[in-house]
Amino acid sequence: MGSSPLLIASRNPGKVAEVRAFLADLDFDLRDLGAFPDLPDVEETGASFAENALLKARFYHQRTGLLTVADDSGLEVDALGGEPGLHSARFAGPRATDAERIARLLERLKEVPEERRSARFVCVVALVGRDGLEKTFTGICEGRIRREPAGTNGFGYDPIFEYPPLGKTFAELSREEKAAISHRGRALRQLREFLQQWKATER
């Protein structure tokens, strides 16, 4: 029996690389949305990370017929009442760069003292397949927001999100170090475990 196709429903190269790294040694033919340039983006109208992840996974599963993984993730900053949260990717406007989003967030937190700069990254990974298969896996990583970006790895808000036990931002960690502790890493480990068991029963 050949490798089953598995669609990673993202066009974000950083995100696709992280998912691929977690699932690379499982018996799946991993594809991403780069292979489906004509498929539209999904409007994320859900009221939670889980709803948005499921919206995306269902949409691309229906369009391609493939077992599909999608995630929704974001940064919740306590001093901003949980913002940017669901709007993390659109925090500085629909076509803003990572640098512009970071600049906007730091500006909003300019007067916030160190002890109130707590934040967390949240990631929900959704898996949708045939025969009504729908699962979600949640990962959370607690940290704090730095006053200045540091590091060149990662993407999104990684340069300003410090993981206190290591005293480094996500952007200062190697991909392997980040995967071991990140919100997405925690959710993907659960997904990986589920897929291993699912694959065993499928044979």
Tell me the catalytic residues.
72
Evaluate whether 10 touches 60 at the Cβ level (below 8 Å).
no
Positions of E strands within 41-147: 67-77, 118-128, 134-145
Three-state DSSP at 28 gives strand
Q: How far apart are CA 99 and CA 28, in angstroms?
A: 35
b/e 102-134 (16+ beta carbons within 10 angstroms → b)? beebbebbeebeeeebbbbbbbbbbbbbeeeee
User: Which residues are within 8 A (CB) of 163 and not within 5 positions of it... i.e. 6 or more apart?
Assistant: 141, 143, 169, 170, 173, 181
Q: How far apart are CA 198 and CA 203, in angstroms?
A: 9
